[in-house]
Chains A and B, each alone.
Chain A
Amino acid sequence: MSVQDSIKGFGVTFKQFLKSPETIDYPDQKTPVWPRFRGRHRLWLHDNGLEKCVGCSLCAAACPADCIRVVAEENTAENRVSAGERYAKIYEINMLRCIFCGYCEVACPFDAITLEAEYELSEPSRIAEIYDKDMLLAPSPKPVPIRTEPSGRQ
């Protein structure tokens, strides 16, 4: 190994000193994801506060991992939950089973369910991995930045 080679090598190293680092300071900082990233599910409300989901269970039918459980009930005048005749009394997704294929989103006739950017889905127990309707209706507790600029990597 000649001196020349060493200079060449250190040259590469010095060049990298001038660039901003590729590593991300996780968990203080999160990797931004692409807009079409499929992460944690979210159930949506209409503008008037009613749930978009009518408990039709089509998502459960489409789900290849069989991770969605929907138990429907009828809306009454006193207790109107959704815009249709029925609503989902129970809406559960087993996140351990989910393969994030997004078929539920495709199947939904009311755009009630979407797959969002959040990917931090570890929980302290298996039972806690079954997300219920209240969890799914709430805005993402661990928001993730969405990537907009093109990637430098291949």
Chain B
Amino acid sequence: MINDNSEIILSVRDLRATVDGTEILKGLNLEVRAGEIHAIMGLNGSGKSTFSKVLAGHPDYEVTAGEIQFKGQDVLELDPHDRATAGIFLAFQYPLEIPGVSNRDFLRVAFNAHRKARGEEEIDVFDFDDLIEEKLDLVKMDVSFLDRSVNEGFSGGEKKRNEILQMALLEPALSILDETDSGLDIDALKTVAGGVNQLANADNAVVLITHYQRLLDYIVPDFVHVMADGRIITTGGKDLAKQLESRGYEWVLEEFRAGVTA
């Protein structure tokens, strides 16, 4: 939903970042407003996942230039947990397994960390149980999921649904979904997409990072960006994804190279 007057949620300017001394992001620009759904597509190694991790503050990535503003606030100065409580949520491509920590405890601790950051009282175990059980329907998860260790022994689809459950619970202003569709069967994809669609509203924004156009049949983006060599080289509407699906990436890259040399 595009509304040019809505609040700017994310503004990325000239972002450069390295990992182990190798530059991966090479001058990335992106602006995301409230109510918008963006898709970032691109070949392997184009820097898509790096971008998502830099936004969330992964310590392995070093930002060497540029800026990231979230609702007008400088993100680069914030620790990862402060970015999270400010409203940035990354759904992981490979959610971690944490043996010994029950999903229920993990979700409650995370939820209370958000409440504390907002200056609110922590919620007790019983109130939390009511709250979380309500959210389970959204991702069609059984209540028994809550008492298993976080992601331990979960199937790929279950892990991704668990990520969306966390998104539903934490109600972030900006959700970045890093290849949440990869490896999902069509039923799980529909469930995940259905959850995201229900959570998207006029006050928040979603950035989908994906290889595949198929996801965009279920979550319709307002903008489609193509990343190559550490930056966004072209931006279009949802039709761009369909073109990429049928024609591949080569023509975009060629147009970009022609434009650069021209």
Does A pair with B?
Answer: no
Interface residues of A (CB under 8 A from B): none
